[in-house]
Structure 1
């Protein structure tokens, strides 16, 4: 008998139940295993309020504290009303480093790049300066041509500096031209060991046509910047100006040329006088301080601070025949009489330029013809001399209560 065929052992069922796939299925559940939820739980922590806290800080930044801080400064500037009562004296305190009495000046020419800007006066002239609106720099009043300052120190039309001492209690012709004449009254002091007087210009008289304009410093024992010590009169009538910077007095329409008097750079002791078409003058009353007296040996006493004028002239219509201590320096052919290069070049000519009175155009160098005629209407100018209790004096001055 044939041997039975080898038992066909069924192929091991191993392949059939390839259990691999079930195991694969089982893992799937693990995937969604709760681990992920735990991960989700952390997520809440992430958005945890930390970020909001970051937002919270932002509000603090714009917090109102900083605005309040800005507000206080604003009131401070407006506090300038307090100074406005006496503008000239508020600036000095803010300039402590430059010393008391330091003044400031502004450019007042509209259209200038520095119009309205305030500058501190240079150390050479801490109490008086002007702003050059072209260069935008403060300039000492006494350092420009046409200046008459201090122990009369002149800067002529030729730009050269010289001194003219004259004599105390005397009058000298500064400018004499056919249509303009200016005399100056000198005050002074002499020490026992001196051969000449220390002198200063106390007042000036300006003659044009038949008109007479007076500008002077009132005698003062003790100096106080807040007290006005400058006096002005026109044709014998005292001009009173409110003590406010910029206020102006104008002559009546019938007067020709027109005259303007205005306060400049301060509310006391500073004036600008203009005779239209003829000249402008900046006049400032200044004292001799005890320090000046100590340094220069003026021997000033406490009963008189020798208040005087510092002057700056600007002429508009001088002839080439002009004369006078200052006037001669404006001639085109003028050759300086003083020794150039010496420490104090002094110009003589006391007799040549001396006049018989403040309003008398009678120095030997006189050129004034007034309103026309051979004597220039001088007879009209020879008026009685008055001395007022206020300190104003001279011919043609009318005293008023």
Structure 2
């Protein structure tokens, strides 16, 4: 969520992984977005606030997203492998490849007070509370981030207030 918009990047449920199947879903303000595979292989919008570009980095399952002045991210949909399933004890059923997003973020102007499970790791003074060396490290503190819905800015630690078209300010 940023400005007055919601950009959703998600992985489709996949029974058996196939690299030729595009398991990536992109939605802009609730509408499905088709990212072409030919030509420029990109989708872009110039909203009133800022330009957003979603471009393919692979024929399937890989994109780069640029939200001007805010963030750049690389996203790849991939499946949990057999070894990962065993190591982390996911106990995935045979009919679920557990497609998920592998992400890399580069924030353009993050506040030193950035918050969130991922966000606070971008603070200049961040020290991880995670116990390293365990198969599934947990950070804790999830009570600070519980929200009534996926797109809600309402949580105990949330600083994002969103904007309405009438009160757009940065």
The answer to whether the superposition gives a TM-score over 0.5 is yes
What is the RMSD of the two structures over their aligned residues, measured on CA atoms? 2.2
Q: Which residue of 1 is the match for residue 115 of structure 2?
A: 323
Q: Any conservation in 2 of the 1:244–1:263 contact (CA below 8 Å)?
A: no
Q: Which residue of 1 is the match for residue 55 of structure 2?
A: 262
Task: Tell me how far 1:304 sits from its aligned partner.
Answer: 1.2
TM-score under structure 2 length normalisation: 0.86
Equivalent residue in structure 2 for 1:240, among 24, 34, 37: 34
| Cα separation, partners in 2 of 1:240 and 1:347, compared to 1, 3 Å | same
3-state SS of paired residue (2:6): strand
| Cα separation, partners in 2 of 1:240 and 1:298, compared to 1, 3 Å | same
Q: Which residue of 1 is the match for residue 97 of structure 2?
A: 305
Q: Any conservation in 2 of the 1:217–1:309 contact (CA below 8 Å)?
A: yes
TM-score under structure 1 length normalisation: 0.38
3-state SS of paired residue (1:231): strand
Higher helix share: 1
Segments of structure 1 that go 5 or more residues without pairing to the other structure are 1-206, 378-401
1:179-221, CA deviations, whole angstroms, 9 ceiling, x for partnerless residues?
Answer: xxxxxxxxxxxxxxxxxxxxxxxxxxxx111111000000011
Equivalent residue in structure 2 for 1:343, among 125, 133, 149: 133
Once residues 294 and 346 of structure 1 are traced to their aligned partners in structure 2, the CA distance between those partners, rounded to angstroms, is 18
Once residues 225 and 283 of structure 1 are traced to their aligned partners in structure 2, the CA distance between those partners, rounded to angstroms, is 15
Task: Tell me how far 1:290 sits from its aligned partner.
Answer: 3.1
Once residues 337 and 299 of structure 1 are traced to their aligned partners in structure 2, the CA distance between those partners, rounded to angstroms, is 26
Once residues 102 and 68 of structure 2 are traced to their aligned partners in structure 1, the CA distance between those partners, rounded to angstroms, is 21
Instruction: Spell out the pairing of 1:146-161 with structure 2 (5 A cutoff).
Output: none
1:222 aligned to 2:16? Answer: yes
Segments of structure 2 that go 5 or more residues without pairing to the other structure are none
Once residues 38 and 12 of structure 2 are traced to their aligned partners in structure 1, the CA distance between those partners, rounded to angstroms, is 19
Once residues 337 and 240 of structure 1 are traced to their aligned partners in structure 2, the CA distance between those partners, rounded to angstroms, is 40
3-state SS of paired residue (1:284): strand
| Cα separation, partners in 2 of 1:245 and 1:315, compared to 1, 3 Å | farther
Instruction: Spell out the pairing of 1:195-210 with structure 2 (5 A cutoff).
Output: 207-210=1-4
